[in-house]
């Protein structure tokens, strides 16, 4: 305005800029202040509820003995590093080689210019591992779960989901327009009732975690598949806490039930047992995978997996596809931990899975117990409401193939010492 009315001169421009700055800052200050106070009260609520999650800072690779940034060396019993491959030298070397040969990243989604030969190799290896027709790789299993339901299911379809399914399945289902049923946790009677209610759909899909991570319990997959057959439904299993290490050769929950190939669709992660870098996938019928490549939004609109991550996934699959060495060590360790803890008087929940929840009941007891464990250099985490039901607080121990017997014995000894001190055991 001033420039149109007045002849532009330095003074006018100076005043104009000053006014503009003053207005912008005043607005921003007020705005920021409002944002901060709104969030602050939310943060207080979380802290008061006792569910605040503090992050411990690690200054070493992921492994059984880790270094915290306060200089403390601790024994780690809470990683999803079931096969101990997160810092496996061969995996690291493969990632480094891929960095040199294929670069740091693709700066593209898959369908534009983000598919390298190694991306196809990884997808083919995953298909071969699960004996499926095809596989689509995502940046994470959260993305795989976010993409599949919306792509596959329409208002003519029905999805039935275990009430304790992983958050990413719940969110994925929220995005789709199918009719939705939540059945009681692992309750086949309830599932069958809901299958009856939903008859007449174009597609009916039953969705479940293979293994439930808070309890180390397994979905009754055999019964689910039988029900699916009876009601002409499809089965979807999220096998993040099973792929690579559960079942006789690590093929996951369906193999655990001697039902290889029994599930229609498997989603899983490369971010847990399979090297732990990142990445998720859907594996199943080739028509489904083709449709996901055309329509799945987290796939179409998000960057390709970086080459070092792809290469570490490939290397892990090479290491575990024809050998059960890692799996065997993990099973031996799990058995050793569970049997020593049980004979000491602890209650360990779960179905012989390397997730070993040490049941304590009281929330304060669980967090005090975990704190005392850390003082003795054993890194474990207490879980309480709302992550697990009230009065079912626990310390979740996760066993790895990389743990030595001595490390497990050391953890059990400390559990016994503190368990006596806090009068959890005699």
Residue 141 interacting with ligand PLP (CB under 6 A): yes
Q: Please choose, out of 139-147, 364-372, 379-387, 394-402, the segment that lies near ligand PLP by the rule CB under 6 A.
A: 139-147
For ligand PLP, give the closer residue by CB, 150 or 407.
150
Catalytic choice (130, 166, 256, 272): 272
Burial of 235: CB neighbours in 10 Å, binned 0-12, 13-18, 19+: buried
Residue 346 interacting with ligand PLP (CB under 6 A): no
Of residues 229-268, those binding ligand PLP (CB under 6 A): 238, 240-241
Q: Please choose, out of 140-148, 191-199, 315-323, 394-402, the segment that lies near ligand PLP by the rule CB under 6 A.
A: 140-148
The yes-or-no answer on residue 405 being catalytic is no
**Calpha distance 25→378 (Å, rounded):** 50
The yes-or-no answer on residue 272 being catalytic is yes
CB of 193 to ligand PLP, least distance (A): 25
Catalytic choice (213, 302, 367, 384): 213
Q: Please choose, out of 16-24, 84-92, 134-142, 324-332, the segment that lies near ligand PLP by the rule CB under 6 A.
A: 134-142
For ligand PLP, give the closer residue by CB, 64 or 145.
145
Q: Please choose, out of 138-146, 219-227, 228-236, 300-308, the segment that lies near ligand PLP by the rule CB under 6 A.
A: 138-146
Give the CA-trace dihedral at 394, 186, 52, 420, to 10 degrees: 0
CB of 86 to ligand PLP, least distance (A): 13
CB of 163 to ligand PLP, least distance (A): 14
Closest to 130 (Cα-Cα) out of 265, 239, 275, 251: 251
Burial of 9: CB neighbours in 10 Å, binned 0-12, 13-18, 19+: exposed
**Residue 244: partners with Cβ closer than 8 Å, 6 or more residues away:** 82, 83, 250, 252, 272, 273, 274, 316, 320, 327
Element (H, E) at 179: strand 179-183
CB of 120 to ligand PLP, least distance (A): 20
Catalytic choice (241, 256, 315, 392): 241
Binding letters toward ligand PLP, positions 198-227, x by CB under 6 A: -----------x---x--------------
Burial of 203: CB neighbours in 10 Å, binned 0-12, 13-18, 19+: middle
**Residue 67: partners with Cβ closer than 8 Å, 6 or more residues away:** 58, 59, 60, 73
Element (H, E) at 169: helix 167-174
For ligand PLP, give the closer residue by CB, 206 or 341.
206
Binding letters toward ligand PLP, positions 148-187, x by CB under 6 A: ------------------x-x-------------------
Residue 418 interacting with ligand PLP (CB under 6 A): no
For ligand PLP, give the closer residue by CB, 38 or 167.
167
Q: Which contacts qualify for 401-407: CB closer than 8 Å, 24 or more apart?
A: 401/82, 401/83, 401/84, 401/245, 401/326, 401/327, 401/329, 401/330, 401/333, 402/63, 402/64, 402/81, 402/83, 402/84, 403/64, 403/77, 403/84, 403/333, 404/64, 405/333, 405/336, 407/64, 407/65, 407/75
* Neighbour count for residue 260 (Cβ, 10 Å): 16
The yes-or-no answer on residue 96 being catalytic is no
Of residues 275-314, those binding ligand PLP (CB under 6 A): 280
Answer for which of 84, 271, 276, 354 binds ligand PLP (CB under 6 A) is 271
Residue 147 interacting with ligand PLP (CB under 6 A): no
List the catalytic residues.
Answer: 213, 241, 272
- The footprint of ligand PLP (CB under 6 A) covers 140-142, 145, 166, 168, 209, 213, 238, 240-241, 269, 271, 280
């Amino acid at each position: 305005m001033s420039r149109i009315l007045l002849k532009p001169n330095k003074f006018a421009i100076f005043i104009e800029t000053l006014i503009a700055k003053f207005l912008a800052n005043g607005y921003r200050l007020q705005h920021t202040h409002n944002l901060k106070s709104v969030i602050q009260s939310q943060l207080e609520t979380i802290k008061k509820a006792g569910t605040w999650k503090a992050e411990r800072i690690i200054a070493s690779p992921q492994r059984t003995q880790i270094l915290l940034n306060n200089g403390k060396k601790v024994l780690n019993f809470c990683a999803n590093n079931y096969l101990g491959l997160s810092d496996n030298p061969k995996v690291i070397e493969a990632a480094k080689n891929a960095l040199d040969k294929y670069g740091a990243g693709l700066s593209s989604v898959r369908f534009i210019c983000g598919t390298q030969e190694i991306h196809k190799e990884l997808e083919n290896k995953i298909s071969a591992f699960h004996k499926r027709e095809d596989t689509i790789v995502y940046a994470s299993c959260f993305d795989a779960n976010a993409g599949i339901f919306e792509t596959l299911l329409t208002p003519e379809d029905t999805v039935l989901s275990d009430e304790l399914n992983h958050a990413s399945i719940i969110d994925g289902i929220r995005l789709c327009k199918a009719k939705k049923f939540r059945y009681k946790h692992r309750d086949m009677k309830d599932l069958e009732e809901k299958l009856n209610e939903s008859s007449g759909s174009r597609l009916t899909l039953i969705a479940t975690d293979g293994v439930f991570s808070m309890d180390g319990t397994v979905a009754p997959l055999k019964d689910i598949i039988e029900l699916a057959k009876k009601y002409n439904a499809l089965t979807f299993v999220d096998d993040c806490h099973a792929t690579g290490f559960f079942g006789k050769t690590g093929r996951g929950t369906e193999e655990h039930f001697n039902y290889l190939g029994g599930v229609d669709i498997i989603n899983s992660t490369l971010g847990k047992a399979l090297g732990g870098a990142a990445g998720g996938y859907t594996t199943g019928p080739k028509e489904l995978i083709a449709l996901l490549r055309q329509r799945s939004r987290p796939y179409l609109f998000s960057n390709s997996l970086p080459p070092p991550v792809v290469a570490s996934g490939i290397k892990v699959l090479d290491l575990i596809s024809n050998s059960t060495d890692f799996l065997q060590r993990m099973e031996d360790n799990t058995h050793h931990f569970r049997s020593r803890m049980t004979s000491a008087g602890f209650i360990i929940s779960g179905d012989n899975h390397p997730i070993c929840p040490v049941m304590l009941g009281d929330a304060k007891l669980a967090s005090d117990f975990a704190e005392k464990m850390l003082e003795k250099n054993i890194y474990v985490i207490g879980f309480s409401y709302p992550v697990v039901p009230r009065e079912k607080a626990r310390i979740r121990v996760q066993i790895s193939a990389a743990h030595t017997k001595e490390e497990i014995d050391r953890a059990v000894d400390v559990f016994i010492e503190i368990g006596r001190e806090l009068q959890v055991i005699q």
